[in-house]
C-alpha cells in the first residue's frame, strides 16, 4: 500500500485538516506521502514534514498550481497517482472540487466523506444527510477518497520527513483565478474549534449575532449558523453548519434559536456534548441535545455570558 495525501493549505499555512487525513491514511496502513501543490509553498511543505507517520513530503511549487484550481491540480494528481494505491484529501471545498476530477481521469469511482476505515478497500460513509451509514467496498485499483476530518483525530507533530520536489508541470488554458473574498475572523476555524456556538432564525437579525460573540470569546469558540440564518442574510454562508455547509464535531456545540432540521443535524450531531437554547419546547433540536434550556434566547444569552 502506498498512499498520497493531498495537503490542504491557505495563505502559506498548512491547514489542520491535513493532520486528520494523515490519521485516516494510517488506519489504511502503508507508506504515506503528502503532496503540497501551490505557488510559494516552501513554508507549507516545511510544516508538513512534521506530521507523524508520513514517509516524505512531495512539493509541486509552480504558478500553475496557485489557488489550487481543479483543472491543473487534477491533472497533476493524475500524473502522480500511478505510484499509489490510495489518494486521500480532506472533504473540504478544495478536496471535493479536485478529487472527483482525478477519479474520472483515472476511470475509477470516488468515495466521498469517509468517516471510518474498515480495511484497505472497505470504508464507511454517511448517506441521506447522515441518517444512514453505508459500508462500501471498492475493487478499483486506485482508491480515491475524501475524508471527513471531524471523524479522525489529528496525528501529532514530531516527524522530520524529507522533502522531495515534483517537477511535473501541466498546462492550464481552461480556468483562471480572478479573486477571492474571505471572511475575516479572529476566532478559531469552524471545522477545528473545540467549542462551537451557532445561531439560527431565532436570532432575529444579523446584529443579534453579537449576543453570541461575548460567549464565544469566553469559551474560545467558533461561531456557526443554520441555513435559515444564512438565507435570511444574518451572516455569511461560510458560517453555515449542515449537510450543505460545514460538518463539525466539537466537544461542545451550543445551538441557539435553531429548530434542528435534518439538514442542520447532519452537520453537528457527532458533537460530544450538545446544548440547545430554544423557546419552543417542541423543537426537534431537543431530541439530540444533552442539555436543553427552554428559554428566550434574548434573556438567556446575556445571562450565560455573565455567568461564564
Q: Does 307 bind another protein (CB under 8 A)?
A: yes
- Rank residues 205 and 287 by Cβ distance to another protein and give the closer one: 287
Q: Does 292 bind another protein (CB under 8 A)?
A: yes
> Is the CB of residue 125 less than 8 Å from the CB of residue 131?
no
Task: For the CB of residue 55, give the shortest distance to another protein in the complex, in Å.
Answer: 27
SS3 37: strand
CA 143 – CA 140 distance, rounded (Å): 6
Q: Does 237 bind another protein (CB under 8 A)?
A: yes
- Rank residues 86 and 101 by Cβ distance to another protein and give the closer one: 101
Q: How many residues bind another protein (CB under 8 A)?
A: 89
Nearest partner of 77 among 114, 41, 36, judged by Cα: 36
Site stretch for another protein (CB under 8 A), options 23-31, 55-63, 196-204, 287-295: 287-295
Site stretch for another protein (CB under 8 A), options 31-39, 94-102, 155-163, 202-210: 94-102
Query: Which one among 26, 55, 109, 159 touches another protein, defined by CB under 8 A?
Result: 109
Query: Which one among 41, 102, 197, 229 touches another protein, defined by CB under 8 A?
Result: 102
Cα distances (Å, whole numbers) of residue 27 to 23, 24, 157, 252: 7, 5, 17, 26
Q: Is 23 exposed, middle or buried (0-12, 13-18, 19+ CB in 10 A)?
A: buried
Task: For the CB of residue 42, give the shortest distance to another protein in the complex, in Å.
Answer: 22
Site string for another protein, 145-184 (x = CB under 8 A): ----------------------------xxxxxxxxxxx-
Give residues 242-261 in contact with another protein (rule: CB under 8 A). 243-244, 246, 251-252
Q: Does 300 bind another protein (CB under 8 A)?
A: yes
Q: Does 132 bind another protein (CB under 8 A)?
A: yes
Site stretch for another protein (CB under 8 A), options 23-31, 45-53, 119-127, 160-168: 119-127
CA 54 – CA 34 distance, rounded (Å): 7
Buried-state track 236-263, b at ≥16 Cβ within 10 A, e below 16: eebbbbbbebbbbbbebbbbbbbbbbeb
- Residue 290: phi, psi to the nearest 5? -75, -40
Q: Does 69 bind another protein (CB under 8 A)?
A: yes
Give residues 184-223 in contact with another protein (rule: CB under 8 A). 191, 195, 219
Q: Does 304 bind another protein (CB under 8 A)?
A: yes
Task: For the CB of residue 75, give the shortest distance to another protein in the complex, in Å.
Answer: 9
CA 293 – CA 278 distance, rounded (Å): 7
- Rank residues 61 and 238 by Cβ distance to another protein and give the closer one: 238
Give residues 133-152 in contact with another protein (rule: CB under 8 A). 133-140
Task: For the CB of residue 94, give the shortest distance to another protein in the complex, in Å.
Answer: 7
Nearest partner of 73 among 125, 9, 119, 11, judged by Cα: 9
Instruction: Give Cα 286 to chain centroid, integer Å.
Output: 26
Cα distances (Å, whole numbers) of residue 98 to 62, 71, 83, 112, 134: 17, 8, 18, 12, 23
Q: Look at the block and give the residue holding cell 509552480.
A: 62
Q: Does 119 bind another protein (CB under 8 A)?
A: no
Q: Does 58 bind another protein (CB under 8 A)?
A: no
Q: Does 10 bind another protein (CB under 8 A)?
A: yes
Pairing of β 163-165 and β 116-117: unpaired
Amino acid at each position: 500500500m502506498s498512499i498520497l495525501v493531498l495537503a490542504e493549505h491557505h495563505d502559506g499555512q498548512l491547514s489542520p485538516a491535513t493532520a486528520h487525513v494523515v490519521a485516516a491514511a494510517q488506519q489504511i496502513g502503508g507508506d504515506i506521502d503528502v503532496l503540497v501543490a501551490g505557488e510559494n509553498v516552501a513554508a507549507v511543505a516545511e510544516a508538513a514534514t512534521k506530521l507523524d507517520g508520513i514517509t516524505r513530503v512531495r512539493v509541486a511549487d509552480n504558478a500553475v498550481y496557485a489557488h489550487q484550481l481543479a483543472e491543473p491540480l487534477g491533472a497533476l494528481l493524475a500524473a502522480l497517482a500511478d505510484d499509489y494505491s490510495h489518494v486521500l484529501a480532506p472533504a473540504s471545498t478544495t478536496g471535493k472540487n479536485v478529487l472527483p476530477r482525478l477519479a474520472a481521469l483515472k476511470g475509477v469511482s470516488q468515495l466521498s466523506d469517509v468517516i471510518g476505515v474498515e480495511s484497505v478497500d472497505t470504508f464507511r460513509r454517511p448517506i441521506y444527510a447522515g441518517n444512514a451509514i453505508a459500508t462500501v467496498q471498492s475493487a478499483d485499483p486506485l482508491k480515491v477518497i475524501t475524508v471527513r476530518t471531524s471523524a479522525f483525530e489529528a496525528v501529532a507533530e514530531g516527524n522530520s520527513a524529507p522533502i522531495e520536489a515534483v517537477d511535473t508541470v501541466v498546462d492550464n488554458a481552461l480556468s483562471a483565478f480572478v479573486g477571492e473574498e474571505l471572511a475575516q475572523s479572529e476566532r478559531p476555524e469552524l471545522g477545528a474549534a473545540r467549542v462551537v456556538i451557532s445561531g439560527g432564525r431565532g436570532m432575529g437579525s444579523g446584529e443579534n449575532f453579537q449576543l453570541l460573540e461575548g460567549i464565544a470569546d469566553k469559551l474560545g469558540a467558533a461561531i456557526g449558523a443554520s441555513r435559515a440564518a444564512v438565507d435570511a442574510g444574518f451572516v455569511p454562508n461560510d458560517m453555515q453548519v449542515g449537510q450543505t455547509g460545514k460538518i463539525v464535531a466539537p466537544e461542545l456545540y451550543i445551538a441557539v434559536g435553531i429548530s434542528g432540521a435534518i439538514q442542520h443535524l447532519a452537520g453537528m450531531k457527532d458533537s460530544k456534548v450538545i446544548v440547545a437554547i430554544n423557546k419552543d419546547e417542541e423543537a426537534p433540536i431537543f431530541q439530540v441535545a444533552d442539555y436543553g434550556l427552554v428559554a428566550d434566547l434574548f434573556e438567556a444569552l446575556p445571562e450565560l455570558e455573565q455567568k461564564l
